[in-house]
Amino acid sequence: MTIGDNTPPRFQRGQRLTAAALNQLSQAVAAILNRGHGPRVDRHPIIVGKLDGNLDAATSFADDPSTATLSVWEKNSDGDYEDSGRDETITNRFENLSFTAGQIMEAQFRDGEWKPIAADCS
């Protein structure tokens, strides 16, 4: 079996997977993931939406971040974004960046909190 095989051989009922075959399978899967996503697959979810209130700069990155609520927007069946009705608390640890109510933002879940990673700025 190789990455280019469009129809790899099928396992038969009761057939055992050898260590060599398992290694070959894991190498093929890793190669496909690396080709499509780069060497690292990011497992941290990202959301997009609009801030309900101002998200001030943090007083201290380490122990005094600011928070605000983000209304999460998702694509509908027409391919347009609409408010999903879901709200998430965004934690801002940036000491020199603040955001205003109504601003479009992307946030990523890391270290147990939603953190801003991109925003629509004027």
Range of the domain at 32: 11-41
Mark whether 58 and 72 lie in a shared domain: yes
Mark whether 58 and 110 lie in a shared domain: yes
Mark whether 67 and 115 lie in a shared domain: yes
Whether 96 is covered by a domain: the verdict is yes
Q: What span, in angstroms and rounded, lies between the C-alpha atoms of 39 and 60?
A: 34
So what's the pLDDT on residue 2? Answer: 56
- Ordered mean pLDDT values, 10 residues apiece, the chain (122 residues): 65 84 83 66 82 98 97 95 97 97 96 95 80
Whether 6 is covered by a domain: the verdict is no
CB 104 within 8 A of CB 121: no
Mark whether 66 and 112 lie in a shared domain: yes
So what's the pLDDT on residue 29? Answer: 81
So what's the pLDDT on residue 20? Answer: 86
* DSSP 8-state class, residue 42: -
Whether pTM exceeds 0.85: no
Mark whether 64 and 17 lie in a shared domain: no
Mark whether 90 and 113 lie in a shared domain: yes
Q: What span, in angstroms and rounded, lies between the C-alpha atoms of 122 and 118?
A: 13
Mark whether 57 and 37 lie in a shared domain: no
Mark whether 58 and 78 lie in a shared domain: yes
Other CB atoms closer than 10 Å to residue 97's CB: what's the count? 14
Mark whether 68 and 35 lie in a shared domain: no
CB 98 within 8 A of CB 91: no
